Amino acid sequence: MEPIKKLLQNKFFSELNKRKKEIDNLQNIVSSYLPDSINKKIIVKNLFKNELILEVKNNPTAHMLKMHQSDLLKELINEKYEINKIKVKITIPIYQRKKTVVKIPDSVNKKLVTISSNMSASPLKEIVKDLFKTKDD
């Protein structure tokens, strides 16, 4: 256990911890300043070259944040942060769709496999290859 503690205390990890504390502090300031309707929907992602990057999950929250953006920027400057710009990014959730299995007659499936094997190498070919499989695959 002792070597792990020493590893976590080296320069690299101490800089990461310092960075994390700074981001957490910014998150607290942003959350305390904004209205309750949106403050839990906003994540402080990064502070890079005097630009604060905030992340939201949808357009209405981004719009409300942009309405408060100038006041928030003034508040952060009052808190002794040298921030010139606030950038809002909207994240798109990744949904995993379940593949539905459709029974295709063997004769049709063989023709589709033949067509897919004649295609040139591309991402579409890989998708088609996964869609139309034979019992041998």
What is the residue extent of each domain of the chain?
A: 2-90, 96-137
d(CA 14, CA 81): 21
Residue 55 main-chain phi, psi, to 5 deg: -120, 135
Q: What is the pLDDT of residues 45-61, one digit of tens each?
A: 999 889 999 999 889 99
Nearest-CA neighbor of 31 among 79, 92, 103?
A: 79
Strand pairing partners for 46?
53
8 Å CB contact between 23 and 42: no
- With a cut of 80, say whether residue 30 has pLDDT above it: yes
First to last CA, the chain: 48
Is 0.85 topped by the overall pTM? Answer: no
CATH code for 2-90? 3.30.300.180
8 Å CB contact between 68 and 34: yes
Residue given tokens 């690299």 in the structure block: 12
Q: What is the pLDDT of residues 103-133, one digit of tens each?
A: 777 787 778 778 778 888 888 877 777 776 6
- DSSP string computed for the chain: -HHHHHHHTSHHHHHHHHHHHHHHHHHHHHHHHS-HHHHTT-EEEEEETTEEEEEESSHHHHHHHHHHHHHHHHHHHHTT----EEEEEE------PPPPP----HHHHHHHHHHHHHSPSSHHHHHHHHHS--TT-
